[in-house]
Structure 1
Amino acid sequence: MDATTPRRSGARSRNNPRGQGERLRADIIRTATHMLDVLADDQALSLRAVAREVGIAATSVYLHFDDRDALVLATLEQCHLDIMRAMQAAEASAADPADALRARTLLLGTWAQEHAGLYKVLYESTINQRVEMRFKRDFKESCVTAVQRCVDAGLAPGPDARAAALDLMAAVHGSMSMRINRCDTPWPPFAEQLDRFLTGLVGLRRS
């Protein structure tokens, strides 16, 4: 929360008119998103710290989230939805299925590098080992669909679009993880590496 954002009082949050509850929940998620990006660790987040940043009593957070895991999951799901919408917009502006696949994957890589903390929580945190994040299946299936469109358009050889999509996802996430966790290595630009993934793993051909 920046210095220009008015802070809420605990009393005010307990007496919100209709609609204020939804806005407060969105404020809590927005604040948790920023904090997780900085902390890069779901275990380091506390509901009391989030409440202080929002400017409300800790009890007000519990009105919306039962515990830390519930808040972290809601935050990660919102991040996932935002990424999915951005990738859909990138695909919509692409010239053909090959450009669409490249655009959506490049967007994910760019987001991961700009929000390394959130990426670590979304894909490498301890909550991943304890809770199934079913919403992430949407990303896998959308990647398979994007590769299949390339196959259908004659821009990739196929025949197994799912296997090629999984190979691509493994390569991209491996690249992101190494870039974030081994930042002292002089990695090539991700866009160049992505083009090699698309050519070598998917067999992508430009129209």
Structure 2
Amino acid sequence: MDETPSAQDEISEERSPARRRARGRNPRGQGERLRDEILSATLRLLNDLGDDEALSLRAVAREVGIAATSVYIHFEDRDALVYAALERCHRDLVRDLDQAETGAADPAARLRARLLFLGSWVGRHSGLYKVLHESTLNQRTHLAFKEDLTDRTTAAVQRCMDAGLAPADDAAAVSLDLRAAVHGAVSMRVNEPDLPWPPLEDQIDRFLTKLVGVRLPGGS
């Protein structure tokens, strides 16, 4: 997507040469390092803004301490930059979700741990969550990397069924119902934080019991 600079962007750009000079140039062969810094800055700004269309490439450049033209060397436009940043964010989230399962006693406990970690992650990264799942970028661009998390959740549900911890069923359909419920619960907390929400842990346990059919410790 093309980006037209605003007057405020131009003024800010003129006021920031000292910051750009202070950063200095990356040594030869460290272009990938600069790309990573741009992605990290983008993720910080997206989390603050909660809206990809409010992101300015000039704001990203200022955050890193470089000229805006340096961003264009690595990314064609704002959508390409946001896509790459979200892809990295999603990859890291999938890794952390997998790690959250460590130590869980059985497939049902591992699935529960994944969902609880997702809820805590959204609480810390509500802006990124909104861009990942609620932004217009989802209509303009197919965020193919999100399919990985979908597949992993379906596999986790299937493992519960294979272990006899949930009734045999269409794991993909059950996973879709479960993801819809969990995303609805966390999204409403992000968008309506002042409502008298029950503990997310209690809701997730009800989703697992009613939608997946697992029997959790202490459940009826």
On whether the aligned pair clears a TM of 0.5, the verdict is yes
Once the two structures are superposed, the pairs formed by residues 130-169 of structure 1 within 5 Å of their partners are 130-169=140-179
Whole-angstrom distance in 2 between the partners of 1:177 and 1:117: 11
Aligned partner of 1:108 among 118, 123, 142: 118
| Counterpart for residue 193 of structure 2 | 183
Aligned partner of 2:76 among 66, 71, 74: 66
Q: Could you tell me whether the CA contact under 8 Å between 2:51 and 2:131 is conserved in 1?
A: yes
- Give the TM-score normalised by structure 1: 0.92
The residue type paired with residue 108 of structure 2 is A
What stretches of structure 1 of length at least 5 have no aligned partner?
Answer: 1-6
Q: Could you tell me whether the CA contact under 8 Å between 2:166 and 2:214 is conserved in 1?
A: yes
Aligned partner of 2:28 among 17, 21, 28: 17
**Number of residue pairs matched by the alignment:** 199
- Give the TM-score normalised by structure 2: 0.87
Whole-angstrom distance in 2 between the partners of 1:12 and 1:184: 45
1:105-157 CA-to-partner distances (Å, cap 9, x unmatched) read 11111111111100000000010111000000001110000000000001000
Structure 2 residue 110 is the aligned partner of structure 1 residue 117? no
The two structures, once aligned, show a CA RMSD in angstroms of 1.6
The residue type paired with residue 17 of structure 1 is R
1:7-34 CA-to-partner distances (Å, cap 9, x unmatched) read 6549943x6311x111111111111101
Q: Could you tell me whether the CA contact under 8 Å between 2:161 and 2:169 is conserved in 1?
A: yes
After superposition, the Cα gap between the structure-2 partners of 1:11 and 1:36, relative to the gap in structure 1 and judged at 3 Å, is closer
Whole-angstrom distance in 1 between the partners of 2:198 and 2:23: 53
1:134 aligned counterpart, secondary structure: coil
| Counterpart for residue 99 of structure 1 | 109
Structure 1's consecutive aligned runs of 4 or more residues displaced over 4 angstroms after TM superposition are none
What stretches of structure 2 of length at least 5 have no aligned partner?
Answer: 1-18
Q: Could you tell me whether the CA contact under 8 Å between 1:155 and 1:206 is conserved in 2?
A: no
Q: Could you tell me whether the CA contact under 8 Å between 1:9 and 1:57 is conserved in 2?
A: no
1:78 aligned counterpart, secondary structure: helix
After superposition, the Cα gap between the structure-2 partners of 1:90 and 1:104, relative to the gap in structure 1 and judged at 3 Å, is same
- The percentage of aligned residue pairs carrying the same residue is 60
Q: Could you tell me whether the CA contact under 8 Å between 2:23 and 2:65 is conserved in 1?
A: no
Structure 2 residue 204 is the aligned partner of structure 1 residue 194? yes
